[in-house]
Structure 1
Amino acid sequence: MSQVDKQLEDTKAQIEAEIPSDVSVTDVKYEGPELVVYTRHPKAFAQNGDLIRNLASKLRKRITVRPHPDVLSDPREAEERIKQVIPEDAGITDLDFHQDTGEVVIEAQKPGMVIGRHGSTLREITQEVGWTPEVVRTPPIESSTVSNVRNFLKQEREERRDILERVGRTIHREEMADEQWVRITTLGCCREVGRASFILNTAETRVLVDCGDKPGAEGEVPYLQVPEALGAGAQNLDAVVLTHAHLDHSALIPLLFKYGYDGPIYCTEPTRDLMGLLTLDYLDVASKEGRTPPYESAQVREAIKHTIPLEYGDVTDIAPDVKLTFHNAGHILGSAVSHFHIGDGLYNVAFSGDIHYDDTRLFNGAVNDFPRVETLVMESTYGGRNDYQTDQEDSERKLKEVINRTHDRGGKLLIPAFAVGRSQEMMLVIEQAMRNGDIPEMPVHLDGMIWEATAIHTTYPEYLRDELRDRIFHEDENPFLADQFNHIDGGEEERQEVADGDPCIILSTSGMVTGGPIMSWLRHLGTEEESTLTFVGYQAQGTLGRRIQNGWEEIPISDRGNGGGGRTSTLTLKMNVETVDGFSGHADRQGLENFVKTMNPRPEKVLCVHGDERSVQDFSSSLYHDYNMRTFAPKNLETFRFK
């Protein structure tokens, strides 16, 4: 008998000793980080809400109780009774019964009403029908991404259970190492922005944190070939942790499966969906630009299939000696500060990912309160000594002034925006400004993936700022559904109509003007002196966006993908060019300092990463002098031992 089987046998005996004698446990399994308990008496567990809580506390495991297939009621009868239990206002749109696991997936417009106070309605459902309910939200805006991900995971349910069982057995394997140490190796994003990737190593475990590309620098990828990473074989990775879905952190996650990785990816649920959206688009853009993509869509599906979503605040075993907890990073939907607790109190490391410290219209500010952190790996995008952004109120005032000036000239405002994060922030600012009469009412056209990304935001309102979530939840005032917003889905023909029409606002990808529909808009509007190109997000070195921001007027425009056979011509830019700071999803210098200064507890060491050379060195030096902590501005391929 293996060590894991012995563990499960002992756990089953422990559970049976804790529960009433007339309640049976037929099987106990690991599925990923969860312990799944099968029983012929699911109603008894449901009637006693404290039973599972006490077991989880005693066993220090996340526990799911499922009915043994023998005791399940007929799905047709169960459906009728479930609909009687759940209030009609919940807006049930689908019920999907899974005989193999005894679960019923309930899709509803208002999941909170299906769950009930402290899960009371869920327990009532199990008491009534025996099935274990799982609840998902019906997207208020139809999302092909959410629908495709859910349908794909449903089709792959059986294989996914096999994956989870295998992962669960790996997590709970016997520790083999005789010694204890903690190391971090930098594979990318050091003294540069982009290709974020790190290896967190213990004597027992190897975890990859992020695996992104570098915007504007084709072919510059993380140093995955080194022995600490995939050089020793992808199968030697125990886990992959993804902080958020932006391509400079996620683009090459599917590549790992091409190299033979077959383990879990831990991220939040919205990050999983956004990763699918952005990586498939990444392949599409590469194809349209005549580049050979580094992987195929099959590997994107593999990545989604291997994802284990975690919620903020859930402490989760991901290896025999590593626990992971995600906390809100305030950067984009589902972005997470990733806290690793290593060993039995041996060491604690937090990776900030990308953060925004203060509240924005879209998100609550980043969390920096942890039980313990000895080392912080900290983004430094705006870490330079002069990298201070205007505050939100001033930024919004300036944006409204730019919109009004452009409208008065009869021009159009073109905003290159990241599909995820900045676009939704812009939508909220513009919607309120029009509602308050601060700017004239006019169409707001959303091009590229912005509409689809917005639909994903509305699927997960619990990840949005409290006030915005409440508007969507309780007041039926979803600002993303305002009449002004128009999804551009008619391609070049519709763009030409907009370009020939009245004043309007256009939000278009890509945010750094590195390709995508923004290039078409520059062709249509670039020579109009009355129109304005307005940057609201970070423009990385080497991108066309940074060059335009720095004063370039001769712009190379490729006809590839527009019937031009791939010819490149030069456009003389006559549009006004404006930059409105303060809308970045990254904290500015003050926000970065405040994150570290108010961190509880304050870390002993900080690795300053994800910024150009000047930014990381300025920020590292400042933290050292002001807070007397050991700081580093590492280069790529450095390894740090912490224990």
Structure 2
Amino acid sequence: MSTVENQLEELQTTIEDEVPNDITITEVRYEGPELVIYTRDPKRFASDGDLVRQLASQLRKRITVRPDPASLSRAEEARDQVLDVIPDEAGVTDLDFHIDTGEVVIEAEKPGMVIGRHGTTLREITQETGWTPEVVRTPPIESSTVKNVRNFLKQERNERRDILERIGRQIHREEMSDDQWVRITTLGCCREVGRASFILSTPETRVLIDCGDKPGSEDEVPYLQVPEALGSGANSLDAVVLTHAHLDHSALIPLLFKYGYDGPIYTTEPTRDLMGLLTLDYLDVAAKEGRAPPYESEMVREAIKHTIPLEYGDVTDIAPDIKLTFHNAGHILGSSVSHFHIGDGLYNVAFSGDIHYDDTRLFNGAVNDFPRVETLVLESTYGGRNDYQTDQEDSERKLKHVIKNTLERDGKVVIPAFAVGRSQEIMLVLEEAMREGELPTVPVHLDGMIWEATAIHTTYPEYLRDDLRERIFHDDSNPFLAEQFNHIDGGEDERQEVADDGPCIVLSTSGMMEGGPIMSWLEHLGSEADSTLVFVGYQAEGTLGSRIQNGRREVPIGGRGGRGSSLTLDMDVETVDGFSGHADRQGLENFVRTMNPRPEKVLCVHGDERSTQDLSSALYHEFNMRTFAPKNLETFRFI
């Protein structure tokens, strides 16, 4: 009998000793990081709200209780019972029964009313029916991405269960080594912005953190081929952790499955959905530009199938010697600071991913409250000594001033924006300004993936700032449903109509003007001297956005890299700082300053050479800690 089988047998015996005698345990199994208990008496478990909590505390594991399929009532009968328990105001839109796991997936407009105070309604559902409820939100704005992901995971439920069981056995395997060390190898985004990727390794485990592309480059990818990474095969990785969905962190995650990886991806639920949206678009853009895509769409589906979503604050075993906890990074929807607790108190490492330290209209600021962190891997996008962003109120005031002046001369405002994060931030500014009369109410056209990304934001309001979350819960005050927002879904014909019409605002991808519908808007409006192009986000070196921002007015429009024709930009070009999803120099310093205790070492990454070195030097002098501005392909040993 294997070590894991012995573990499960011992766990089942312990559980049987701890639960009341009238509760029968039929099976105990690992599914991913969770211990799943199957019982013929789910109603008895549900009647004691503390029983699962006590078991989880005693066993130090995440526990899910499911009914033995033999004990279930018929789905038709249970459907009526479930609906009788849930208040009508919850707005249930779908019930989906899965007899193999004894779960009923309840989709509702107001999930909180299905859950009930401290989970009372969920327990009542189990007490009445025996089925285990799982609750998901009905998106206030219909999202094809969310719908497709949920349907796909439903179709792949049996295979996914097998995957989770295999991963669970890997996580809970016996440790094989007596050595103790921790290493980080840099595979990308060091002294550069983009292609974020790191390997965190111990004698037992190898974890890949992020795997992105480099904006403005077609061929610079992380150094995955080195022995420390995939040189000995993709399945030498035990886990992949994705901090957030932006392509410079996520674009090449599906490539791992092309190379043979078959393990878990840990991220948050909204990041999983956004990764699917952005990587499929990444393939679509490559095809339109005549480039060979690095992987097929099937690999995106494999990535989604292997994703294990975690919530902020959940401490989760991802290997025999590593526990992972996600914390809000304040950058984009679902973005996470990833904290790794290694060994039995041996060492702690945190990867910031991309962070925004202060609150924004969309998100609460990044969390930096960890029990321990010996080493911090910190982004440095705006880490240069002069990289201080404008105060948010001043930024909004300047943006409204630029827009108002353009509209008064009957011009149009074109804002290249990232579909995820900055677009929704700008939408909130515009909605409030028009509602309060600071700007005239004009059409705000959303092109590219912006509307779909906004729909995903409304699906996961629990990841948004507290006051915004409450507004989204009510259709009559949901700012994203304001009537001036128009989704461009008619292609070139609709863009031509907008160009021929009166004053308006256009938000369009891509944010760095590397392809996408923004190029069409330049063709339509670039020659209009009364119109204005406004940059509100970071423009990486080498991108078209950066070149225009730095004064270039001859713009290629016939293809990537200058192939084809060009036009001369006559429209005004403005930059409004302060809307970045990244912390500025002060925010990065404050993130470290307010950590208690502070880390012993900081690796400054994800910034150009000047930014990483400036920030490294400043943190060293201010806090007397060891700091580094590593190059790619360096390895640091910490124990």
Aligning the two structures, in what range does the TM-score lie when normalised by the shorter sequence?
A: over 0.9
1:74-93 pair list within 5 angstroms = 74-93=74-93
For residues 169 and 134 of structure 1, what CA distance do their matches in structure 2 show? 24
TM-aligned CA deviation for residue 486 of structure 1: 0.1
Task: Report what 2:185 is aligned to.
Answer: 185
1:567 Cα offset (Å)? 6.0
Task: Give me the whole-angstrom Cα distance separating, in 2, the residues matched to 1:418 and 1:587.
Answer: 17
- Kindly provide the CA deviation profile for residues 150-196 of structure 1, in whole angstroms up to 9, marking residues without a partner as x: 00000000000000000000000000012010000000000000000
1:568 to 554, 559, 564: 564
| Displacement after TM superposition at 1:475 (Å) | 7.5
Q: Does 1:160 align with 2:156?
A: no
SS of the equivalent of 1:377 reads strand
Please give the alpha-carbon distance, in whole angstroms, between the structure 2 residues aligned to 1:37 and 1:540: 50
Partner secondary structure for residue 558 of structure 1? coil
Q: Does 1:107 align with 2:120?
A: no
| Counterparts of 1:422 and 1:247, CA distance in 2 | 14
Distance, in Å, in 2 between the alignment partners of 1:441 and 1:137 is 31
Moved beyond 4 Å, runs of 4+: none
Aligned counterpart, 2:415: 415
Deviations 1:540-578 (A, max 9, x none): 000000000000011111169xxxxx9611110101000
CA drift at 1:249: 0.1
Q: Where does residue 614 of structure 2 map in the other structure? A: 618
Partner of 1:28, secondary structure, is: strand
For residues 569-613 of structure 1, give each alpha carbon's deviation from its aligned partner in whole angstroms, at most 9, with x where no partner exists: 111010100000000000000000000110122100000000000
1:595 paired residue number: 591
- Does residue 97 (structure 1) correspond to residue 97 (structure 2)? The answer is yes
Q: CA 1:53–1:439 in structure 2 vs 1: closer, same or farther (change >3 Å)?
A: same
| Secondary structure of residue in 1 paired with 2:37 | strand
Aligned: 1:577 with 2:573:
yes
Post-superposition offset of 1:442: 0.1
- Residue matched to 1:269: 269
Aligned to 1:28: 28
Q: Distance in 2 between matches of 1:471 and 1:444?
A: 20
Note the 1:478-517 alignment, pairs <5 A: 478-517=478-517
The equivalent of 1:447 in structure 2 is 447
Query: 1:277-426 maps to which residues of 2 (within 5 A)?
Result: 277-426=277-426
**Aligned equivalents of 2:470 and 2:17: distance in 1?**
44
Q: Render the CA deviation track for 1:323-355: whole Å, top value 9, x for unaligned.
A: 000000000000000000000000000000000
Alpha-carbon distance in structure 2 between the residues aligned to 1:345 and 1:470:
39
Hey, what's the Cα distance between the residues in 1 that align with 2:358 and 2:54? 37
**For the residues of structure 1 that align with 2:563 and 2:597, how far apart are their CA atoms?**
56
Residue aligned with 1:190, SS: coil
- Aligned positions, number: 638
Residue in 1 aligned with 2:134? 134
| SS of the residue 2:293 aligns to | coil
Q: Distance in 2 between matches of 1:312 and 1:288?
A: 37
Shift of 1:473: 2.3
Q: Distance in 2 between matches of 1:567 and 1:494?
A: 26
Q: Which residue is equivalent to 1:18?
A: 18
Letter in 1 for 2:151: N
| Offset of residue 472 of structure 1 | 1.5
The whole-number CA distance in structure 2 between the counterparts of 1:478 and 1:470 is: 9
* 1:642 alignment partner AA: F
How many Å apart are 1:124 and its aligned residue? Answer: 0.1
Between the aligned partners of 1:6 and 1:476, the Cα distance in structure 2 is 56
Structure 2 equivalent of residue 66 of structure 1: 66
Instruction: Indicate whether 1:629 and 2:629 are aligned.
Output: no
Whole-Å separation in 2 of the counterparts to 1:437 and 1:592 = 35
Q: Which residue of 2 aligns with 1:563?
A: none
Contact 2:370–2:596 (CA<8 Å) still a contact in 1? Answer: yes
Q: Work out the CA distance in 2 between the residues paired with 1:297 and 1:635.
A: 32
Q: 1:121-161 deviations in whole A, cap 9, x for unaligned?
A: 00000000000000000000000000000000000000000
SS in structure 2 at match of 1:57:
helix
Q: Distance in 2 between matches of 1:475 and 1:277?
A: 25
In 1, Cα distance between equivalents of 2:51 and 2:476: 37
SS in 2 for 1:261: coil
Shift of 1:476: 4.5
Q: Does 1:251 align with 2:251?
A: yes
CA distance in 2, matches of 1:405, 1:290: 40
2:59, 2:532 → 1: CA distance?
61
Aligned equivalents of 1:502 and 1:394: distance in 2?
Answer: 28
**1:201 to 2:201 alignment:** yes
Q: Percent identity?
A: 82
Q: Is the 8 A contact 2:355 2:582 kept in 1?
A: yes
**Which one-letter code corresponds to 1:630 in the other structure?**
R
Asked if the contact 2:556–2:563 (Cα under 8 Å) also holds between the matched residues in 1, the reply is no
- Counterparts of 1:22-61 in structure 2 under 5 Å? 22-61=22-61
Distance in 1 between the 2:599 and 2:533 partners?
42
The residue identity in structure 2 corresponding to 1:640 is F
Please give the TM-score of this superposition, normalised by the length of structure 1.
Answer: 0.99
8 Å CA contact 2:140–2:475 kept in 1: the answer is no
